[in-house]
Chains A and B, each alone.
Chain A
Amino acid sequence: MALGRRTLIASGAAAGVVTSLPRLTRAQAANTIRIGVMTDMSGTYRDNTGPTSVACTEQAVAEFGNRGFNIEVIQADHQNKPDVGSNLARQWYDQGVDLILDVPTSSVGLAVNQIAREKDKAYVNVGSATADLTGPACAPTTIHWAYDTWMLAKSNGGATVRAGGDTWFFITADYAFGHALERDTANFVRASGGRVLGQVRTPFPGTSDFSSFLLQAQASRAKVIGLANAGSDTQNCVKQAAEFGLTRRGVKLASLLLFINDVHGMGLQAAQGLTCTETFYWDLNDRTRAFTRRVLPRTPNNYPNMIHAGCYSATLHFLKAVADMGVPAAKASGVAVINRMKAMPTEDDAFGRGEIRPDGRRIIPSYLFEVKKPEESQGAWDYLKLVQTTPAEEAFRPLNEGGCPLVRS
């Protein structure tokens, strides 16, 4: 009889385990936060974003540790195409992805912005440059994390005009990003008393020979050629400008968006003397060096730039907000998560302290760097020296000038 009772209890317990199993997995899914890193894994921006963005996101997840919920990172290649990016975004959000991260290439970045707003899901854009994300296109579900065209234009354009480069000609990548960067820089040039003599729009992607456009720029007799492009486009422009003797004739190149990875690709011989604006450089201070040391094992051949560091910092901040408000509330509404993120100051090794404005713009200092001469560089990836720091409150477009509908004036 006693035996029978024991068997009964044991089998009852076993039955309980069996029936609770499906409930357990369902509970696990409900208790899992999914981060989708959508980036350029195969095209011209791969090294500036790509696998290193994923590595930095994973680093943040590892450092965040276990705080009572599971975290899953998935990744996909949007091939720099807005249609591919839109489809992916819909699919991901419908399948329970809670945050889409990175999304370089402004045309894709803007497309995903629209879908996140429709579906009330969180979206932190790190990789796109266009300042429209916190301007006319701003959304309550979006934060623009690391940099934008206005901030690049202010730091680099302003400094160049002050140094005497008062006539400009733009070589512009013919899509949302190039147009925005050209527009914002031209405004600064004019505001500082300079003149814009002309511009040429180059097909994107697929242009590798810029010599024709460089000659047109030279024929305009502008003192400064503004490169409103990025990645291998910028690299080819710089190399070909040197080849055609433009730089020797005193024409100054203003690389408006240049990453350390581009400098690595060109070599210091070709890149020396160029200026670039960043919000993160691995060798800026002890904390950035410490962050870089931690993340390098995951990305041994590519040092992190401000986009990569941005993915790290954005992931940490997002996870803090989720832990703060609880997983069910975070999964329920993208606007709620983003609002919680906006309410907390950001704090991490890569950028130090920052804050997020109502329009979704994260505010941090920006730094103007100059590319070192080959003889100044003391080791691998020692490429930049600091020229000027713009404090956080002056680095980005003032809140009331962006035309963001979320901001009540």
Chain B
Amino acid sequence: MDEIFGIPAPLLFGQLLLGLINGAFYAMLSLGLAVIFGLLNIVNLAHGALFMMGAFVAWMLLNYAGLGYWWAMLLSPVIVGLFGMALEKLFISRLYKLDHLYGLLLTFGLALVIEGVFRNYYGSSGLPYRIPDQLQGAWDLGFMFMPVYRGWVVIAALIFCLTTWLVIEKTRLGAYLRAATENAPLVQAFGVNVPRMVTLTYGGGVALAALAGVLAAPIYSVNPQMGTNLIIVVFAVVVIGGMGSILGAVLTGFTLGVVEGLTKVFWPEASATVIFVIMAIVLLARPAGLFGRA
């Protein structure tokens, strides 16, 4: 029991746990992307930048307004969500009739602009954000030291993912949303304001990204590149899980986090590429993704 595949067991368990934690971020971000893609048909490349904004707004709330972590969890998604809705109204809504590619280019451009602005004012070194006092410290699990905050990230991510899934699958609002994806003119004919609903959905997806940003702020330094590093991986996650599949996005997020964690033990240099290798294999075998409907 001491060694598994030549790796000390404690190390392996530690990596599994860490994989879950990273998976939590992948899951939350890919969930937002999946919701936006499912309902708006927009490949939202600005998602990483909005995740970064979520972390920055948390930092600003603390440093300019004196509002701590818990306030940031509440306010940052609202602020960034409103910003996202403004983006949708002003820019993205004009592209629904065009090819996917235009939405992709537009949101990519928006991401570069947002990141550039933050880099210009705050530099690239990153800004410190403290772990809240209630979540300081760590549990000694024997095989590893488990920081309380990382545990909280996994639990919080699970709660948010589950809530989103419930809202979309089990509520009346969710039913409208799903109906609008299938046939927007018909739903509109029943008296539902579809454009407004689409704006709110985009805002909701963006708020999820911002929430993930707040969760990430105390772990990674708050810096303008933090989204760029994640977004490509998260896209791979969405593609593997199946575009638009909510449950697929969440499950794939956690699973790939674990796979990546294990790669870091067995072949560290490949840990940045393993997800893309999996993506290539999945695309060859099941082009619609693991959970997608062809």
Contact = CB atoms under 8 A, between A and B. Distances in A.
Interface of A: 42-48, 50, 174, 200-203, 205-209, 211-213, 215-216, 219, 231-232, 235-236, 239-240, 243-246, 249, 261-262, 264-267, 269-270, 301-302
Contact of A245 (B127, B145, B230): B145
Interface stretch (B8-16, B68-76, B164-172, B194-202): B8-16
Contacts of A270: 128
B3 to A, nearest CB: 11
Contacts of B18: 209, 211-212, 215
Contact of B124 (A46, A174, A216): A46
Interface string B205-237: 000000000000001110101100110000000
Nearest to A212: B264
A243 B149 contact: yes
A245 B138 contact: yes
A243 B123 contact: no
- The residue in A45, A213, A244, A261 that gathers the most chain B C-beta atoms within 10 A of its C-beta is A244
Contacts of A236: 220-221
B221 A215 contact: no
Contacts of A232: 124-126, 221, 223, 225
A44 B145 contact: no
Contacts of A249: 145
B219 A213 contact: no
A4 to B, nearest CB: 64
A215 B15 contact: yes
Contacts of A213: 264, 268
Contacts of A264: 125
Nearest to A45: B124
Nearest to B129: A267
B81 interface: no
Contacts of A246: 145
B71 to A, nearest CB: 20
Given A212-B264, A215-B15, A266-B221, 10 more contacts: A45-B124, A201-B268, A208-B229, A209-B219, A212-B14, A212-B265, A219-B11, A244-B138, A264-B125, A302-B123
A59 B144 CA distance: 51
25 contacts: A44-B225, A46-B124, A47-B125, A48-B125, A50-B124, A203-B272, A207-B271, A209-B220, A212-B15, A212-B18, A212-B261, A212-B271, A215-B11, A219-B11, A232-B124, A235-B126, A239-B220, A240-B219, A244-B144, A244-B147, A245-B147, A246-B145, A265-B127, A265-B223, A270-B128
Nearest to B139: A245
B47 interface: no
Interface residues of B, number: 41
Interface of B: 8, 10-11, 14-15, 18, 21-22, 116, 119, 123-128, 130-131, 138, 140, 144-145, 147, 149-150, 219-221, 223, 225-226, 229-230, 261, 264-265, 268-269, 271-273
Contact of B265 (A45, A207, A216, A267): A216
Nearest to A201: B269
B219 A243 contact: yes
A216 B130 CA distance: 25
A215 B144 contact: yes
Given A44-B124, A301-B123, A207 B272 contact: yes
Task: In the A-B complex, list the 3 residue pairs whose CB atoms are closest, starting with the nearest.
Answer: A265-B125, A203-B272, A267-B128
Contact of B11 (A216, A244, A262): A216
B269 A265 contact: no
A202 B268 contact: yes
Nearest to A200: B268
A45 B124 CA distance: 7
B121 to A, nearest CB: 9
B271 A203 contact: yes
Nearest to B144: A215
Contact of B221 (A42, A45, A205, A239): A239
A211 B220 CA distance: 11
Contacts of A245: 138, 140, 145, 147
B143 to A, nearest CB: 10
A265 B122 CA distance: 10
A302 B144 CA distance: 38
B63 to A, nearest CB: 12
Contacts of A43: 124, 225
A271 to B, nearest CB: 9
A287 to B, nearest CB: 26
Contacts of A202: 268, 271
A208 B18 CA distance: 13
B264 A235 contact: no
A211 B226 CA distance: 16
Nearest to B11: A219
Contact of B125 (A200, A205, A261): A261
B128 A266 contact: yes
Nearest to B263: A212
Contacts of B145: 244-246, 249
B1 to A, nearest CB: 16
Given A208-B220, A215-B14, A215-B144, A262 B125 contact: yes
